[in-house]
């Protein structure tokens, strides 16, 4: 891991409530893409609201290493001097992408179409994550991307390959695979179409259009053709709904809470958490809806309410895949049983999120049973104890919010990665009313 203090610990004293109006950091997915597309655009792109966590900085540094002049981030502002679709230069050493699966999967598509060779590496965690889901279809297009025998990083990409567009039916819904192939498709002869079995986030398609590159979307299929260009633009990155989720859950479970989350991205492919919390009986009010750079944005007000356990509809699972750790905490505080199925993908995230959350909830006295593709949680009273987050930022932040309803202190170990996705989490949570030390 590249972070400095692997044994960073959070300590949460029980009680408290969340209130006020806050803006959580920018959306990670959109921040990644703003750097990638801004670099390939013609002209100067200005980004505000950029999330300067380690994952997004890995993307930024990769493009710097390929000759793109990028100023910032300063207070979430980044200025990118675009080099056009064919202006990237060969990096002098392997591109190190830290813990960022998004960077690696999207770049593998983009870089398989360039005139130079390069190698993509990552930290221990990223080096264990599956890459065949992108290297397979890229090979069909004519790319040369080699991984280890296990199908994991490092990825060795051989340039100067002639790519041909394909029609790809994704076996598993994955925005990263879709984005990877669409980016390669900008350079491939003919049309590249990707069809998904279930809707996934569509930030790449929206931002390509925002930069003036035509994307054809029909139902579950997105297509691009080569020959277009990206024109520089301004991007105000929406606040990340995944980061807002911790506060939404905290306010829903802590009596007396009333919090407003400002400028949150409410992309229809990401609002599973809103739909699921509403099904559980949460009091959520959405206002001030507007459109910023192709992305819908709104303010979300959440007040405490009595939650009830539900069977989570499987069609909501891909729309809430990153939000489940926090939703499991909501389920622990709800009346009755919550059942999740169809979420096998959670086992191959930064940690096995199903098992790690189940273990943590059991430590805090909740009856939680991991299943092959989900979990069964009986709502109950949260106790006190020490939970291992296994270096997974979303686990750490989810259990932090559990402290609002715990009977005694909750201690969470291995929290250094929180800074990666949510810089300033401890300070912001404390300001909103959580008794947290980190």
Over residues 120-155, the pLDDT tens digits come to 999 998 999 989 999 999 999 999 999 999 999 999
356 CB-near residues (< 8 Å, 6+ apart):
388, 389, 390, 392, 395
DSSP assignments along 284-338, one per residue: EEEEEEEEETTEEEEEEEEE----B--BPPGGGSGGGGGGHHHHHHHHHTSBSEE
d(CA 21, CA 92): 46
Q: How many helices (H) and strands (E) does the chain have?
A: 13, 23
User: Could you give the domains of the chain?
Assistant: 10-26+238-437 (3.65.10.10), 28-236 (3.65.10.10)
Pairwise CA distance, residues 67 & 69, whole Å:
6
Residue 200: CB atoms within 10 A of its CB come to 22
Q: What is the pLDDT of residues 242-253, one digit of tens each?
A: 999 999 999 999
Question: What does the DSSP 8-state code read for residue 24?
Answer: P
CA distance 148 to 156: 9
Contact 421, 53 (CB under 8 A): yes
**Residue 150, C-beta contacts closer than 8 angstroms, at least 6 positions apart:** none
Reported confidence tier of residue 338, pLDDT bands at 50, 70, 90: very high
What pLDDT sits at residue 276?
97
Q: Contact, 358 vs 383, CB < 8 A?
A: no
Could you read off the pLDDT of 95-122 as tens digits, one per residue? 999 989 999 999 999 999 999 999 999 9
Residue bearing the bigger pLDDT, 352 or 60: 60
**In terms of Cα–Cα distance, which of 134, 149, 24 is closest to 432?**
24
Catalytic residues: 322
Give the pLDDT band (50/70/90) at residue 328: very high
How confident is the model at residue 201, as a pLDDT?
85
């Amino acid at each position: 891991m590249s972070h400095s203090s692997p044994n960073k610990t959070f300590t949460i004293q029980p009680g408290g409530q969340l209130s006020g109006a806050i803006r959580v950091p920018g959306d990670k997915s959109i921040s990644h893409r703003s750097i990638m597309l801004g670099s390939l655009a013609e002209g100067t792109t200005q980004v505000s609201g950029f999330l300067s966590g380690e994952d997004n900085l890995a993307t930024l540094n990769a493009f710097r290493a390929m000759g793109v002049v990028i100023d910032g981030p300063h207070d979430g502002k980044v200025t990118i001097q675009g080099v056009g679709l064919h202006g990237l230069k060969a990096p002098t050493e392997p591109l190190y992408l830290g813990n960022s699966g998004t960077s690696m999967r999207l770049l593998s598509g983009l870089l398989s179409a360039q005139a130079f060779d390069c190698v993509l590496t990552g930290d221990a965690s990223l080096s264990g994550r599956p890459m065949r889901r992108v290297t397979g279809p890229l090979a069909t297009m004519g790319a040369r991307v080699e991984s280890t025998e296990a199908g994991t990083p490092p990825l060795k990409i051989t340039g100067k390959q002639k790519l041909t567009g394909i029609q790809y039916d994704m076996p598993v819904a994955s925005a990263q695979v879709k984005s990877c192939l669409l980016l390669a498709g900008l350079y491939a002869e003919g049309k590249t179409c990707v069809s998904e079995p279930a809707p996934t986030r569509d930030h790449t398609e929206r931002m390509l259009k925002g930069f003036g590159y035509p994307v054809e979307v029909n139902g579950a299929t997105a297509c691009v053709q080569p020959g277009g260009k990206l024109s520089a633009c301004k991007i105000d990155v929406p606040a990340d709904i995944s980061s807002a989720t911790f506060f939404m859950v905290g306010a829903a479970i802590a009596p007396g809470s009333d919090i407003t989350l400002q400028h949150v991205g409410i992309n229809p492919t990401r609002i599973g958490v809103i739909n699921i919390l509403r099904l559980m009986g949460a009091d959520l009010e959405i206002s001030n809806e507007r459109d910023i750079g192709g992305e819908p944005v709104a303010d979300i007000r959440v007040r405490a309410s009595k939650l009830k356990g539900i069977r989570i509809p499987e069609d909501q699972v891909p729309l809430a895949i990153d939000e489940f750790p926090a939703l499991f905490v909501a389920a622990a505080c709800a009346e009755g049983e919550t059942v999740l199925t169809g979420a096998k993908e959670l086992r191959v995230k930064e940690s096995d999120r199903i098992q790690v959350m189940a273990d943590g909830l059991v430590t805090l006295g909740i009856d939680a049973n991991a299943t092959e593709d989900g979990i069964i949680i009986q709502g109950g009273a949260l106790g006190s104890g020490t939970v291992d987050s296994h270096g997974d930022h979303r686990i750490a932040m989810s259990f932090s919010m559990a402290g609002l309803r715990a009977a005694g202190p909750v201690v969470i170990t291995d929290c250094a990665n929180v800074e990666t996705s949510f810089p300033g989490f401890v300070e912001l949570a404390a300001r909103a009313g959580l008794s947290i030390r980190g």
